[in-house]
Amino acid sequence: MDVHRELQDLASDVISKTAFGSNYEEGKRVFSLQDKQKHLVFDAIGNVYIPGFRFLPTKKNRERWRIERETREAIRNLIKTNSRARENSRNLLSLLMSSCKNQDGKEEKLGVEEIINECKAFYFAGKESMADLLTWALLLLAQHQEWQDKAREEVLSVCRGDEVLLSEKVNDLKIMNLIIHETLRLYPPAVMLMRQATKNVKLGTLDVPAGTQFFLALPSIHHDTDTWGKDANEFKPLRFNEPRNHLASFFPFGLGPRTCVGKNLAIMEAKVALAMILRRYSFVVSPTYLHAPRLLISMQPQYGAQLLLRRITS
């Protein structure tokens, strides 16, 4: 089974329900459009930068513009269609649509276009990043059976029998937490973070003027042997039981005030999904699997992630 495809559907359904109170079918159009858009964006990133080129009516630019229009219209229709049913809900969309008080005590609301921009980001991050994280975690556990056994033993001790994994018990999954963090280190879903200096700063001996843009390559930092040791490329979850020498040696969700707002949801979702799979199935890597990570906005298995699963009966 190619678990990557299955996990994309799972992640799509989860983000649709938790963030927007809808289901996968309602958001299917948005996911389909964003999937097409990511391929066009990745192609554009790989081209030589020519100022103003993105405004020219080339074939690919026109296609990007069309997809952008359709995506915004699809989300706008979701907002209009479901706003009445969501008035008493507490999901992301209802919170975005509700008013809040500014510093002067006056009520303010986000405009529709602002809400659409936020929804686009959540739709993409909630599907792609989560599906990639779960895929790499399952592959690593399939390759390292001893850690799969440890994780399953922990899950069964926390959730006995068919007991539902309640939110208050998620924090008891300590081994699972180590596995997820090591997976994020080896295969960070977001491989590049962009930041801009807001003022003149000095980094060591380097003077950085305001306005300088930084492109932070997470795989390079997460695999740095000076920071992580000679075994930096190996799967060793126990390394996260040891204190890190530098805060910025590991930041799959970013750092500081601009840390990903979905970080806690992502970790909880990953724990719950992996726990549900581990308590029901054991799995190994299929002989048909070809290890070929590729960058397509996020880090994905180029030819899928084929696993052989066996249902646990006892």
Residue 159 lies in a domain: yes
Does 140 map to a domain?
yes
Does residue 172 sit within a domain? yes
Q: Which tops the pLDDT comparison, 48 or 127?
A: 127
pLDDT value for 64: 84
Query: Maximum distance among all alpha carbons in the chain?
Result: 63
Task: Decide: pTM greater than 0.85.
Answer: no
Q: Which domain holds residue 279?
A: 3-21+85-100+110-285+298-311
Residues 6+ apart with CB under 8 A from 294: 300, 301, 302
pLDDT given for residue 237 in this prediction: 97
For residue 122, the domain's CATH number is 1.10.630.10
Residue 280: inside a domain, yes or no?
yes
Q: Looking at per-residue confidence, does 292 or 167 come out higher?
A: 292
Query: Closest Cα to residue 121, out of 245, 5, 3, 15?
Result: 15
The top-scoring range by mean pLDDT among 102-106, 206-210, 251-255, 256-260 is: 206-210
The mean pLDDT of 146-169, rounded to a whole number, is 87
Tell me the helices (H) and strands (E) count for the chain, helix number first: 12, 10
Mean pLDDT of 62-72: 86
Could you tell me which residue, 291 or 259, shows the higher pLDDT?
A: 291
Q: pLDDT over 90 for what percent of the chain?
A: 42
Higher-pLDDT residue of 82, 217: 217
Report CA dihedral (257, 262, 266, 268) to the nearest 10 degrees: 90
> In this predicted structure, what is the pLDDT of residue 2?
95
Please give the mean pLDDT across all residues of the chain: 84
Residue 236 belongs to some domain of the structure: yes
Which of the four pLDDT bands, split at 50, 70 and 90, describes residue 101?
very low
The predicted pLDDT at position 182 comes to 98
| 241 part of a folded domain | yes
- pLDDT for residue 154 is more than 80: yes
Find out whether 260 is annotated in a ligand binding site.
yes
In-domain check, residue 69: no
Say how far apart CA 236 and CA 220 lie, in whole Å. 17
The listed range with the strongest mean pLDDT (51-60, 79-88, 226-235) is 226-235
Q: What does each C-alpha distance from 309 to 21, 108, 131 come to in angstroms?
A: 32, 51, 18
Task: Domain count for the chain, please give it.
Answer: 1
pLDDT of 220 reads 92
C-beta contacts of 31-36 below 8 A and 24+ residues apart: 31/123, 31/127, 33/67, 33/70, 33/71, 33/74, 34/71, 34/120, 34/123, 34/124, 34/127, 36/67
Q: Per the domain annotation, does 52 fall within a domain?
A: no
* The predicted structure's pLDDT at residue 84: 59
Dump pLDDT digits (tens) for 262-294. Answer: 888 899 999 999 999 999 999 999 999 999 998
